[in-house]
Structure 1
Amino acid sequence: MKKEINLQLSPKEAYDDVVFQEVVAKKLGLNLREQQFEARQVKRSIDARGRQVKVNVSVEAFIDEPATPLLHTSKAYKDVSLADPIIIVGAGPAGLFAALRAIELGVKPILIERGKDVRSRRRDLAAINKEHIVNPESNYCFGEGGAGTYSDGKLYTRSKKRGDIRRIMEIFVAHGATEQILVDAHPHIGTNKLPKIVTELRESIIQAGGEVLFDTKVVDFILDNNEMKGVITQDGEKIHGVGVILATGHSARDIFQLLHRKKILIESKPFALGVRIEHSQNLIDQIQYNCEIDRGPYLPASSYALVHQTYFEQKQRGVFSFCMCPGGFIVPAATSPGELVVNGMSPSRRDSQFANSGIVVAVELEDLPSYQKYGPLAAMEFQAEIEKKAWLLGGQSQVAPAQRMVDFANRKVSTSLLDTSYQPGLKSINMHDVLPPFISNRLADAFQAFGKKMKGYYTNESQLIGVESRTSSPVRIPRVKETYEHPVIKRLYPCAEGAGYAGGIVSAAMDGERCAEHLIAAYVSKEI
């Protein structure tokens, strides 16, 4: 017999499995010595609104019968080695899941990645952290798995309209992720676990007859009467396919420039820009969990989400937290020499002593009048200029400009900086010199407002580290809403974050699947 119940538990009851089984059995009036019994959590979320933290749990209990499988997806894919090929540019979440979906639909994917395989990327990440050397083809953004590989691995998304979130989660589990991502309300994998999972996804593609090409940079397109028939690589190789899914991510500026040069329709797009803010994780735990010392052995590192509406020069703009990384690290995310960009990531256990989050300001196109001369690349050029200024003021290396929070609000250069998770190091700077006034003034206003929402957040025991500029693509590659196809160039399917349509691992993966489905339905099979 199977029973489903909802419980509100203490952290120990929710996270200690032995105690959890006992609590559920008692709730159901069962005798564990006399009956076969297994309880499992189906959904779990933390409620920290009261003085005592509670955990809301949806439970399936199996009494005198075996538990049904939690996972319904396998790694078994059919052989497509002799099938018609489609080309997928970019091996991030969108590209990987587009390739797997193509295989499921009987089509051969040729997955092209400018960077290295996930294992080889590590040497280049070490070089940027320790020697401040930026490899423009292999870094925290470019390479197998894209920016998502070396990230927190957050899997939370509200974008249900793009597809089946559970399906994406199960594919991750089938390739090595923990089943806990199927349970937690805000699941994550962790940067230490993601490389192995990404490798397994690649192996599934190859074993099914797909191709994965690393160190292969697309430098041109093969166009025939406004139809995209393939791509040309840096070695001059022409790779043909039924169509092209462009899943290059938000930092592939050369692709945006190529599209613009070839007069393929693209558009400038609003995005957001700001800084990373770093606190001690213990302080955030004390604020969020109402604990006096630490969060204890059962609760995970706490996170936060903040938003504040600001007014500057009679314009309203939102300031909000972005990609909050509890128990995490700040990393250098530049993709070219001569620029400085920061991002955040967390290991699976989220056990760093630091908490960091992007705090960013919405940037509208009307905020950038002097950049309109760049046409559809206006926001991208603004973004690049801020990153170059951060690099210059940081000392022309990957040392990042930084300032304590209250000092920033008071426009005072910090006489000293705090310990940090950012490995290349920090330099004390007035961050108002790095950021334009319409960004910095809004940030100063928002930090003080956030301090009223989270008592203790606004403190000089935290610091701004800049700049956080790669929140989303500053360029949109348009597509027809119903078909996902570019409105002018046929057989071109702009995909996910780099095209301006999806942000985050899960939404990008779902967008990749939809692009594959639409391309194949239009040009390979009418039965999908």
Structure 2
Amino acid sequence: MKKEFTLQLRPEEAFDPKTFQETLLKKAGLSIDTEEAIGRQVKRSIDARGRQVKVNVKAELFIKEEVPPLLDYESTYQNTSNSDPIIIVGAGPAGLFAALRAIELGVKPIVLERGKDVRARRRDLASITKEHIVNPESNYCFGEGGAGTYSDGKLYTRSKKRGDIKRIMEILVAHGATEEILVDAHPHIGTNKLPVLVTELRKTILDYGGEIHFDCRVDDLIIEGDEIKGIVTQNGDKIKGLGVILATGHSARDIFELLNTRKVLIEPKPFALGVRIEHSQSLIDKIQYHCNGDRGSYLPASAYSLVTQTNFKGVQRGVFSFCMCPGGYIVPAATSPGELVVNGMSPSRRDSKFANSGIVASVELEDIPEYQKFGPLAAMKFQADVEKSAWKAGGETQTAPAQRMVDFVQNRTSSTLLETSYQPGLNSVDMRAVLPDFISARLAMAFKSFGQKMKGYFTNESQLIGVESRTSSPVRIPRNRETFEHLELKRLYPCGEGAGYAGGIVSAAMDGERCAEKLIATYVR
């Protein structure tokens, strides 16, 4: 017999397996010594709105019954070695899941990745941090697994209409992720575990006849009439297929330049720009959990989500937190020499003493009239200029410009900076000289507003580290809403974050699956 329960538990009741089992048995009216009953959690979320933190849990109790596995996913992969191929450009979540779905549908994927495999990427990431050397082909954005592999691993998404979220989660579990991601309301894998998972995804693609080529940058397109027939690599190799899924991520500026040069329709797209804000994790715990800064041994590092509207010169724009990383680190995410970009990451245990989050302001095209001369690349050119400004302010290395929060709002340069998780180091500057005026003004308004929402957030014991500029693609590659095919170039399927149709690991993975399905349904006989 199976019984279901909806419970509100204390943290120790929810997160300690033995205590949870005993609590569930008591709720069911059974002795804690009952040996023929096994309980498990199927959904879990933290509610920190009250003075006492509670954990909402949906649970199942199996009495004298075998417990079915939480994971019920069964793959339908086929050997595609001799099948006609499709080309997938990019081995991030969108590209990898497009490849897996193609294999399920009996079509061979050829995945082309400009960067290196996850293990080889590590050396290039170390070079950025220690030697301030940016490899434009292998960095935090480019390489196997995409930007998420060495940046974070958060799996929460609101994109419930784009595909089957549960299916994506179960595929991740089948390839090595913990079953906890099927339970937690805000699931997270951790940057330390993602490389192993990505390696297993690659293995499945190769085992079933797919191909993955690393150090394989796309430099041109093979276009005949109104159809794309294939691509040309940096070595001049021509690779053809039944169609091309373009899943290059939000930072492949050379691809956007190529599309523009080849007269393939692209559009400028609004995005968001700002800084990383870093607090001590104990301060965020104190605010969120209403404690003295010691959250205890059961609660995870606390997170936050903030948003406000700002009015600058009569124009309303939103400012919001982005990719909040509890117990995390700030990392250098530039993709070319001469620019400085920061991003956040968290290991699976979220055990760093720092908390960081992007705090970014919306940038609409009308905010940057002087860049309209660049046409569809207007927002991208603006983004690149801000990153160049940050690089110069940091000392023309990967040392990042920084300023304490209250100092920034009160328009004074910080005499000293705080300890930081950002390993390349910080340089104290006036961040208003780095950021455009309309961004600086909105951030200053937002920090004061956030301090009212989270008492203690607005403090000089936190600092801005800049710039956070790769929140989303500044270019959209338009596609048909029903077929997902490019509006003008047949057999081209713009996909994922780089095309402007996703915003994270799960939404990108779902978009990759959908693109593969649409391409195959239309062009594979």
**TM, length-normalised to structure 1:** 0.99
Match of 1:508 in 2: 508
CA–CA distance in 2 between the matches of 1:60 and 1:231? 51
8 A contact 2:402–2:427 mirrored in 1? yes
8 A contact 1:157–1:504 mirrored in 2? yes
Secondary structure of residue in 2 paired with 1:278: strand
CA–CA distance in 2 between the matches of 1:46 and 1:31? 27
8 A contact 1:118–1:195 mirrored in 2? yes
Secondary structure of residue in 1 paired with 2:161: helix
8 A contact 1:477–1:500 mirrored in 2? yes
Tell me if 1:61 matches 2:61.
yes
AA partner of residue 477 (structure 1): I
CA–CA distance in 2 between the matches of 1:143 and 1:417? 33
Q: Deviations over 1:165-186 (max 9, x none)?
A: 0000000000000000000000
Match of 1:407 in 2: 407
Q: Deviations over 1:307-356 (max 9, x none)?
A: 01000111000000000000000000000000000000000000000000
CA–CA distance in 2 between the matches of 1:142 and 1:75? 28
CA–CA distance in 1 between the matches of 2:308 and 2:283? 21
How does 1:39-78 map onto structure 2 within 5 Å?
39-74=39-74, 77-78=77-78
Cα distance change, pair 341–293 in 1 and its aligned pair in 2 (3 A): closer
CA–CA distance in 1 between the matches of 2:221 and 2:277? 40
Unpaired segments ≥5 residues, structure 1:
none
How does 1:305-316 map onto structure 2 within 5 Å?
305-316=305-316
Aligned residues: 525
CA–CA distance in 1 between the matches of 2:265 and 2:76? 39
Match of 1:454 in 2: 454
CA–CA distance in 1 between the matches of 2:75 and 2:129? 35
Superposition deviation, residue 73 in structure 1 = 1.8
CA–CA distance in 2 between the matches of 1:223 and 1:48? 55
CA–CA distance in 2 between the matches of 1:228 and 1:293? 57
Superposition deviation, residue 31 in structure 1 = 3.0
Superposition deviation, residue 75 in structure 1 = 5.6
CA–CA distance in 2 between the matches of 1:402 and 1:319? 19
CA–CA distance in 1 between the matches of 2:253 and 2:206? 29
8 A contact 2:268–2:475 mirrored in 1? yes
Q: Deviations over 1:90-113 (max 9, x none)?
A: 000000000000000000000000
CA–CA distance in 1 between the matches of 2:70 and 2:431? 49
Match of 1:324 in 2: 324
Match of 2:464 in 1: 464
Superposition deviation, residue 35 in structure 1 = 4.4
8 A contact 2:259–2:266 mirrored in 1? yes
CA–CA distance in 2 between the matches of 1:490 and 1:272? 31
Superposition deviation, residue 72 in structure 1 = 1.5
Tell me if 1:36 matches 2:24.
no
Match of 1:284 in 2: 284
8 A contact 2:403–2:430 mirrored in 1? yes
CA–CA distance in 2 between the matches of 1:151 and 1:59? 32
How does 1:65-464 map onto structure 2 within 5 Å?
65-74=65-74, 77-464=77-464
AA partner of residue 385 (structure 2): E
Superposition deviation, residue 77 in structure 1 = 2.3
Match of 1:21 in 2: 21
Secondary structure of residue in 1 paired with 2:212: strand
CA–CA distance in 1 between the matches of 2:74 and 2:206? 16
Superposition deviation, residue 76 in structure 1 = 6.2
Tell me if 1:489 matches 2:489.
yes
AA partner of residue 461 (structure 2): E
8 A contact 2:172–2:197 mirrored in 1? yes
8 A contact 1:153–1:194 mirrored in 2? yes
CA–CA distance in 1 between the matches of 2:481 and 2:522? 14
CA–CA distance in 1 between the matches of 2:269 and 2:33? 63
CA–CA distance in 2 between the matches of 1:32 and 1:415? 59
Superposition deviation, residue 32 in structure 1 = 4.7
CA–CA distance in 2 between the matches of 1:189 and 1:74? 21
Q: Deviations over 1:207-255 (max 9, x none)?
A: 0000000000000011111101110000000000000000000000000
Superposition deviation, residue 384 in structure 1 = 0.1
Secondary structure of residue in 2 paired with 1:322: strand
Match of 2:8 in 1: 8
Q: Deviations over 1:23-48 (max 9, x none)?
A: 10111112354541110000000000
CA–CA distance in 2 between the matches of 1:165 and 1:203? 22
Unpaired segments ≥5 residues, structure 2:
none
CA–CA distance in 2 between the matches of 1:33 and 1:393? 65
8 A contact 2:9–2:54 mirrored in 1? yes
Match of 2:476 in 1: 476
8 A contact 1:306–1:320 mirrored in 2? yes
Secondary structure of residue in 1 paired with 2:324: strand
CA–CA distance in 1 between the matches of 2:74 and 2:349? 26
8 A contact 2:26–2:32 mirrored in 1? no
AA partner of residue 381 (structure 2): E
CA–CA distance in 1 between the matches of 2:448 and 2:34? 59
8 A contact 1:403–1:414 mirrored in 2? yes
CA RMSD between the two structures: 0.8
AA partner of residue 417 (structure 1): L
Superposition deviation, residue 78 in structure 1 = 1.6
Q: Deviations over 1:127-161 (max 9, x none)?
A: 00000000000000000000010122000001011
Secondary structure of residue in 2 paired with 1:29: coil
